[in-house]
Amino acid sequence: MNILMVTNTFTPHVGGVAKSVASFTETYRQLGHRVIVIAPEFENMPENETDVIRVPAIQNFNGSDFSVRLPIPGYVFASLNEFRPDVVHSHHPFLLGDTALLVAASFDVPLVFTHHTMHEQYTHYVPLDSPQLKRFVIQLATGYANLSDRVIAPSRSIAEILQKRGVETAIEVVPTGMDIITLQKGNGSTLRESMNIPREALVIGHTGRLAPEKNLKFLAQAVAEFIDCHPKTHFLVVGEGPSKTEIQEIFNNSGLDSNLHFTGSLKGQDLVNSYHAMNVFAFSSKSETQGMVLVEAMAAGVPVVALDAPGARDVIHHQKNGWLIADDDSAAFISALKQALSITGEHREKLQQALEQTAEDYSMAHSAERSLALYTALSTEHPCPKETEDSLWDSALRIIEKEWKIWENIAQSTEAAFTDDGRDD
């Protein structure tokens, strides 16, 4: 099968969507399918990539670590004429997401859209952020989903939110899978030694982009308060981003800077080792659709303490494989950290068994199998395009129709931005 992946974020960008696209792409290729990825240019991107089409982009848009693509050059469509995708899989509802719609229309093949992100949580990167802008983004993503042939939600809670918002296209729940075996094999001592963390120290860890939408001010304050009462505990932070300074300031003001350790962005075995250096994983984001890092931590045998939010509540079963805390309740969060770090004996064994079972449920092999079955079903349902002279005319008409629907969606989203219809939740 020829699969076209279209995404606004891809390697070397560090983030959940980029990781998901890369993981599925690699697995599909291993299974014998050909996959082409269309993605923006990023700084320090790999050279001589195979079957990756990069488009020009503005780097580090408005202080973020995202790229924003420029108008699509003609060579993109020329390259795809030889490839001829059987299915187009879009990972964003805007920017290159529009390109995915047009490519699918041009080749008359099904379009699958994965709703990875609660986009309204990211509008602070755009000038003039406002409630109206958040409503616009919600409606734009909803309209895009309804222009697709099938929607994938990474978790059941996200599927329910999308249905509440008015997505009428059929939704399949397919989480991003993990390389469980690799995550199980790590050396935490190596990472601790490199960061000057004592072998006997208890370590609270966090992995992810250090950005405002991750609610890291709450996390840093709660962890600092815990460490203030348990001074032999350390905080290991894996990742980069604009919130790094805020975390550092909180620990400096608490006189705990020696208990804080930043590794920067890690990948490969270094990332796996970082999970194995932790005793508990702390997570405060409310903007996740799945919380991939939660599963990664569990695969490494690390229990999780997180806020009860979409994504997290699909992975964590309270007091079985982790702890879910309602709202930004600092006292409850600190109490859960204490429980996670003190659990021993038979309770610890049951916890480890629960962590292993959760990790197995999110294996890459299982998730890829479900996605490929979806592609096959859609391709079977979708009529094959005719390879005749008039097919060029038919293709042009389909593109014009899709362009109209894209603009219609933008217009309707703009109108919805100034109308509170109760679908903002």
In angstroms and rounded to an integer, the radius of gyration of the C-alpha atoms of the chain is: 22
Q: Are residues 57 and 166 in the same domain?
A: yes
Q: Are residues 130 and 71 in the same domain?
A: yes
**What CATH code is carried by the domain that includes residue 325?**
3.40.50.2000
Instruction: Specify if 422 maps to a domain.
Output: no
Is residue 65 pLDDT above 50, yes or no?
no
Residues 6+ apart with CB under 8 A from 118: 158, 287, 288, 289, 310
Which of 216, 359, 226 has its CA nearest to residue 293? 359
Q: Model confidence at 69, in pLDDT bands (50, 70, 90)?
A: low
How confident is the model at residue 275, as a pLDDT?
Answer: 98
**Average pLDDT for residues 71-85, to the nearest whole number?**
78
How confident is the model at residue 145, as a pLDDT?
Answer: 92
Q: Are residues 163 and 135 in the same domain?
A: yes
Q: Are residues 80 and 23 in the same domain?
A: yes
CB contact at 8 A, 30 and 365: no
Q: Are residues 150 and 235 in the same domain?
A: no
Q: Are residues 189 and 296 in the same domain?
A: yes
Range of the domain at 332: 180-361
Instruction: Specify if 423 maps to a domain.
Output: no
How far, in Å, CA of 219 to CA of 210, rounded?
11
How confident is the model at residue 270, as a pLDDT?
Answer: 96
How far, in Å, CA of 423 to CA of 425, rounded?
6
Percent of the chain with pLDDT over 70: 83
Q: Model confidence at 62, in pLDDT bands (50, 70, 90)?
A: very low
Is residue 358 pLDDT above 50, yes or no?
yes
- Please write the tens of the pLDDT for every residue from 267-305: 899 999 999 999 999 999 987 877 789 999 999 999 999
Q: Model confidence at 413, in pLDDT bands (50, 70, 90)?
A: low
Is residue 359 pLDDT above 50, yes or no?
yes
Instruction: Specify if 307 maps to a domain.
Output: yes
How confident is the model at residue 418, as a pLDDT?
Answer: 67
Q: Are residues 187 and 216 in the same domain?
A: yes
- Please write the tens of the pLDDT for every residue from 138-175: 888 899 999 999 999 988 888 998 999 999 999 999 99
Counting the structural domains of the chain, the total is 2
Q: Are residues 167 and 200 in the same domain?
A: no
Is residue 423 pLDDT above 60, yes or no?
no
Phi, psi of 58 (to 5 degrees): -85, 125
How far, in Å, CA of 324 to CA of 226, rounded?
17
Which of 274, 295, 266 has its CA nearest to residue 364? 295
Residue 353 corresponds to which tokens in the numbers above? 């068994």
Instruction: Specify if 69 maps to a domain.
Output: yes
Give the residue with greater pLDDT, 310 vs 413.
310
Residue 363 corresponds to which tokens in the numbers above? 């294996």
Instruction: Specify if 425 maps to a domain.
Output: no
Lowest mean pLDDT among 159-168, 332-341, 407-416: 407-416
Is residue 208 pLDDT above 60, yes or no?
yes
Give the chain's mean pLDDT. 86
How confident is the model at residue 47, as a pLDDT?
Answer: 83
Q: Are residues 94 and 187 in the same domain?
A: no
**Average pLDDT for residues 47-51, to the nearest whole number?**
89
Is residue 227 pLDDT above 90, yes or no?
yes
Q: Can you give the pTM of this predicted structure?
A: 0.71
Instruction: Specify if 82 maps to a domain.
Output: yes
How confident is the model at residue 410, as a pLDDT?
Answer: 67
The conformation of residue 34, written as its DSSP 8-state character, comes to E
